[in-house]
Amino acid sequence: MDICQSNNAGRRAPMSRDRVVIVGAGVAGMVCAFALAARGLDVTLLERSAGPGGKMRQIGVGGTQIDSGPTVFTMRWVFDELFAAVGQNFSDFVRLRPLDVLARHTWDERNRLDLFADEGRSAEAIGDFAGAAEAERYRAFCRDTRRIYEILEKPFLRAPQPSMGGLIGARGFRGLMQLPQIKPFSSMWSTLSQYFHDSRLRQLFGRYATYCGSSPFKAPATLMLVAHVEREGVWSIEGGMYGLARALEHCAESLGATIRYGQEVSDVLIVHGRASGVRLASGERIAADAVILNADVAAVANGLFGMTARRAAAVIAPRARSLSAMTWSLVASAGGFPLSRHNVFFSRNYAAEFDDIFERDVLPHEPTVYVCAQGRGDSNTGGSDWEKLLVLVNAPANGDRHSYDSAEVERCAQRTFGVLQRCGLHIQRQPDATQVTTPADFNRLFPATGGALYGRNSHGWTASFQRPGARTKIPGLYLAGGSTHPGPGVPMAALSGRSAAASLMADLGSISQSPRTAMRGGMSTR
């Protein structure tokens, strides 16, 4: 494979370089390292695990590696812009293939619906599935979700610290008039009822609230914009999602960033009220002019980076946590159902499912099940006798106060794989080629979260404005990651990393306004 190469010829080295320590090699942390190293800063990235990725992780099962975190790649423009900022082409480093089928949705053996990247094909499929009137309502839904996204992209998604006042003020009177168009004050479920008369379609499009770790019955209808984001394109990455982590890691190092794995940070050092470096669990101190914490906000607020640094973030109450998950990473035989790459098998009572999770704090009696068939593409072929699967159901974020014993895990498995069987999919599991991850396991991986995978939930119209921005109350200390603004998911985490890097550069004063164009060639994620 080709290698990113650093070439600083002709560039005068500064007399001194601002030192930045980044804690956490998740997507946001690596984007920070990438962006700041390209600007000439002395960047050290510290990660307590053995490799990059954070929640974008792979698990070794049955002699192979299975993506066991995010599996859907959207909003590629975020990475196109990031690489273009240093004079490079993202597609030279990560090989992408667009998917025609966004996801295959199933309610039982007879009811099945594919959504496509092409809006016309989706409308036609919906017409065949639920009637011509629903197809027309879908087209109206597409127009409105596109409009929501267009209104919010610059003043919200790209803003370092948005507010409702700022959102309206950015457009003056026009902004006030546009407020009803983004639908912040009604729930997603009630608004979907205005678009779709078929309850199956409400269930399908309501599922997009779970992309933010939320319930469609409590989240604002604004989150319908996620449907537009997915409709703009879903890609598979050669080498899996983890290939993106490796590509960012390699390019950050090629631009001069130092990445140290197996390094746990115990404290952010605060001197004269300003972040001045970090102390490792080993006792080593690393001085810095600024510190970026790519960590869950809950970990910061609960003092995992020192009692002084905890005031940089607000505590997230357990009831405000987002969804967790129960997952099975497995090599298995799957038959009886034409799997696509992304597949959703719906429960028969959606409201009861979210009541179980958010009101009763228990695993759902009958869950909706997501299956990522990682060797599949758009067609029904591509699977083998034994293939890599990630099976996931939503779960409460109670992993810090509830232990999941083997009996409870097996009951959940029976319910989960029972839903698949009801829909015609039969998975032959092998105990020695299966790894289960519970909310308690996620809490161990990401302490103080209870296993919440998306930070704060998005329930209520103010929730999106309660995520912290990059800057904190402590000068020189910045936040990044999926629990900060603008929110969870790979592209959103990348945006938060870019925002943290930009905020830090603005505060430090740029060493050079011209970024290095240091990388030559690309890197395959093969």
The whole-number pLDDT of residue 280 equals 98
Query: Which residues constitute the domain of residue 504?
Result: 19-57+70-96+240-316+458-508
The phi, psi pair for 192, rounded to 5°, reads -60, -30
Whether the per-residue pLDDT at 159 is higher than 90: the answer is no
- Residue 80 corresponds to which tokens in the numbers above? 């196109």
Domain count, the chain: 3
End-of-domain residue from the set 181, 201, 231: 231
Whether the per-residue pLDDT at 13 is higher than 50: the answer is no
- Residue 422 corresponds to which tokens in the numbers above? 């009801």
Answer yes or no: is 384 within a domain.
yes
Same domain for 500 and 469, yes or no, is yes
Same domain for 185 and 296, yes or no, is no
The whole-number pLDDT of residue 10 equals 32
The overall pTM is greater than 0.85: yes
**Segment 320-330, tens digit of pLDDT:** 999 999 999 99
Model confidence band, residue 465 (pLDDT cutoffs 50, 70, 90): confident
**Segment 224-261, tens digit of pLDDT:** 999 999 999 999 999 899 999 999 999 999 999 999 99
Model confidence band, residue 81 (pLDDT cutoffs 50, 70, 90): very high
Short-list 444, 404, 410, 443, CA closest to 429? 410
End-of-domain residue from the set 191, 213, 231: 231
Same domain for 436 and 328, yes or no, is yes
Model confidence band, residue 169 (pLDDT cutoffs 50, 70, 90): low
Q: First vs last Cα of the chain: how many Å apart?
A: 8
Answer yes or no: is 112 within a domain.
no
Q: What number is the average pLDDT over the span 449-471?
A: 91
- Residue 141 corresponds to which tokens in the numbers above? 């839904």
Contact 482, 454 (CB under 8 A): yes
User: What are the DSSP calls for 131-176, one per residue?
Assistant: -HHHHHHHHHHHHHHHHHHHHHIIIIIT-SS--HHHHHHTTHHHHH
- CA-CA-CA-CA torsion for 377, 523, 19, 312, nearest 10 degrees? 0
Whether the per-residue pLDDT at 347 is higher than 70: the answer is yes
Question: Cα(524)–Cα(243) distance, rounded to whole angstroms?
Answer: 9
Strands 387-395 and 434-437: unpaired
**Segment 82-137, tens digit of pLDDT:** 999 888 889 999 999 999 999 999 999 999 999 999 999 999 999 999 999 999 99
Same domain for 407 and 469, yes or no, is no
The whole-number pLDDT of residue 239 equals 87
Model confidence band, residue 184 (pLDDT cutoffs 50, 70, 90): confident
Residue type for position 318: P
Answer yes or no: is 451 within a domain.
no
Answer yes or no: is 204 within a domain.
yes
End-of-domain residue from the set 202, 231, 260: 231
Same domain for 370 and 428, yes or no, is yes
Whether the per-residue pLDDT at 266 is higher than 50: the answer is yes
Whether the per-residue pLDDT at 519 is higher than 80: the answer is no
Same domain for 305 and 327, yes or no, is no
**Segment 202-222, tens digit of pLDDT:** 999 999 999 999 999 999 999
The whole-number pLDDT of residue 381 equals 52
Question: Cα(67)–Cα(59) distance, rounded to whole angstroms?
Answer: 7
SS3 320: helix
Answer yes or no: is 520 within a domain.
no
Answer yes or no: is 212 within a domain.
yes
